[in-house]
Amino acid sequence: MKKRKALTLTDVLVTVVVSLVFAVIYSVWGAFYTALKPLGIHLNELVYGMWFIAPVVVYLIIRKPGVALIAEFAAASAETIVLLQFDVMLIIYGLIQGLACELVFAIVRYKSTALMVAVSAGTAAALSTLPLDWYYGYLAHLETWNLILMAGFRILSGAVVAGWLAHILYRALLETGVLKLLGQYKEIEKEA
């Protein structure tokens, strides 16, 4: 694999199209998420991690600076297109979550595809929007047990869904051989 760090047209296109697939999933997931809301005990937070699975998966398949940010931005904005609802919040949240993932990937210098990297990126993304929710949703005025439940569910979900599930998807994609198009032969041999 040639060492090219700048994003090529192929990288950008693959990033955006993969994010689009996730945007479709996000939209289906949104109904599920809303259905879990009314009880108020934050069961919905358990599936929250799905909302930042795109940057993790895209990072695992491309591993270049910037892709995680583009991926989450693309997924969030495409979701607003699919749902016919231009939601600023969604896009701002997407950008913040993308940045949080990007930060974790920068720490490992865009090299590692270890499960731990994916899990920590998912966790970082889960943590990243809590401050904003704190102001937006007046979380300081929530009863403490409820707040802990919410934060706990969200972090758990970030680690499991955005981290672990993203890694499963990545390994399955490796097996299909489609990543050869992106120059990932080495990993396939290693896996085999």
Partner 1 sequence: MFESIKRYSTFIDRTNPLTKIVAAICLFIAVVLIHDPNHLFHLSLWMLLLFLVMSGIELKYQALLIAVTVLTGLVSSAYMILYGEGDTTLFEFGLVHITEESIVRGLHITMRGLTLSFFGSLIIFTTRLTDVFYSMMQQAKVKPKYAYSFMASIRMLPVIVNEFITLRRARKVRRSLISRKHIGGLRGFTSTVVILLSQSIRRAHRLAVAMESKGFDDGARTYYRQTRFSGYDVCFIALIAVGLIASYYSGQWITPFGTSDAR
Among 1, 81, 116, 148, binds partner 1 (CB under 8 A): 81
Q: How far is the CB of 121 from partner 1 (least distance, A)?
A: 18
CB contact burial 43-62 (16+ within 10 A = b; e otherwise): ebbbbbbbbbbbbbbbbbbb
5 belongs to the binding site for partner 1 (CB under 8 A): no
Q: Return d(Cα 170, Cα 105) in angstroms, integer.
A: 16
Pick from 106, 107, 124, 122: nearest CA to 164? 122
> Dihedral of CA 100/123/106/185: which sign?
negative
Closer by beta carbon to partner 1, 107 or else 168: 168
Pick from 148, 160, 86: nearest CA to 122? 160
Stretch in the footprint of partner 1 (CB under 8 A) among 88-96, 97-105, 110-118, 122-130: 88-96
Among 24, 116, 130, 148, binds partner 1 (CB under 8 A): 24
Say how many residues touch partner 1, by CB under 8 A. Answer: 58
AA letter at 147:
L
Pick from 117, 33, 134: nearest CA to 68? 117
- Residues near partner 1, by CB under 8 A: 7-10, 12-18, 20-21, 23-25, 34, 37-42, 57, 61, 70, 74, 78, 80-82, 84-89, 92, 132, 135-138, 141-143, 146, 150, 165, 168-169, 172-173, 176, 178-179, 181-182
